[in-house]
């Protein structure tokens, strides 16, 4: 079985694939100092709940945007699963043409692969996490760059911390789809929610105008579901882009070794 680890700045996902389908997925808060021993105590309990043990895992693939964590995740694989992991950006062959001057973040490249497997290009892939990214996938599946902006949760946190009288609130669609808030909370909800909808609509429009071609827009990430039904700029909501991309990268590397 394959253990796929996808680590973002906020959350880390662990997913198990049995060769046919994903049989389990778990998330934990990302902590860059968490050791391999700490990971395994947590993970062993979750594996046992699925009736699985360490011996069931015979392959590991890691995608992380937190460089200081990769050492501990690699140790987890080596020490407890006796497996040398595939690490995106290190020893994993992505099998994708990257047409930018410097390699991009691991998660963005993995998402590009996951999107190109399902959707005909060219594509705009929007990933809503700690940052909100807009990435371009060419018709032939190549990664051609993108845009990085602050994520919606980060913006809300900054608003609360920088303004003494503004409370910490839940991010949600304003009641009745109102634009103009009638109190502090509804005004903040509208500013963040509709502000991000406008960000998405504006950048998608500008990307399409700059490239001069029809493009399919796919949204993924932890808060992408908040925007479903709120804008026509997004064609598909797909929460499985990253794990689909990781599985494909694993298969490409496995085939190349045989």
Contact 25, 51 (CB under 8 A): no
Cα torsion angle, 184, 189, 194, 199, sign: positive
Sheet holding 123-128, edge to edge: 143-150, 131-137, 123-128, 216-220, 236-237
3-state secondary structure of 19: coil
Residues 6+ apart with CB under 8 A from 83: 57, 58, 59, 60, 77
Q: How far apart are alpha carbons 228 and 239 in whole angstroms? A: 12
3-state secondary structure of 149: strand
The residue among 111, 100, 5, 1 whose CA lies nearest residue 55 is 1
Q: Please give the structure tokens belonging to residue 178.
A: 């109102």
- Cis amide leading into 97 (omega within 30): no
The kind and range of the H/E element at 144 are strand 143-150
Q: Please give the structure tokens belonging to residue 73.
A: 């995740």
- Catalytically active residues are 107
């Amino acid at each position: 079985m394959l253990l796929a680890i996808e680590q973002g700045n906020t959350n880390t996902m662990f997913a198990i694939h049995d060769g046919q389908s994903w049989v389990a997925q778990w998330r934990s808060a990302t902590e860059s100092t968490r050791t391999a021993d700490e990971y395994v105590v947590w993970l062993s309990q979750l594996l046992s709940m699925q009736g699985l043990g360490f011996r069931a895992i015979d392959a590991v693939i890691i995608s992380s945007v937190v460089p200081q964590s990769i050492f501990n995740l690699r140790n987890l694989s080596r020490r407890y699963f006796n497996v040398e992991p595939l690490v995106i950006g290190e020893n994993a062959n992505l099998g994708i043409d990257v047409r930018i001057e410097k390699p991009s973040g691991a998660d963005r490249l993995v998402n590009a692969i996951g999107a190109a497997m399902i959707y005909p290009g060219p594509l705009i892939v929007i990933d809503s996490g700690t940052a909100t990214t807009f990435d371009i996938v060419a018709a032939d599946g190549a990664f051609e760059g993108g845009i990085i902006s602050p994520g919606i949760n980060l913006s809300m946190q900054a608003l609360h911390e920088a303004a003494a009288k503004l409370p910490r609130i839940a991010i949600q669609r304003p009641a009745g789809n109102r634009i103009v808030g009638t109190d502090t909370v509804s005004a903040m909800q509208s500013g963040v929610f509709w502000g991000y909808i406008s960000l998405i609509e504006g950048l998608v429009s500008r990307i399409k105008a700059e490239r001069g071609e029809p493009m399919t827009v796919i949204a993924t990430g932890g808060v992408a579901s908040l925007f479903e039904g709120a804008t026509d700029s997004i064609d598909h909501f797909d929460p499985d882009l990253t794990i689909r991309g990781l599985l494909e990268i694993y298969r490409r590397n496995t085939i190349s070794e045989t």
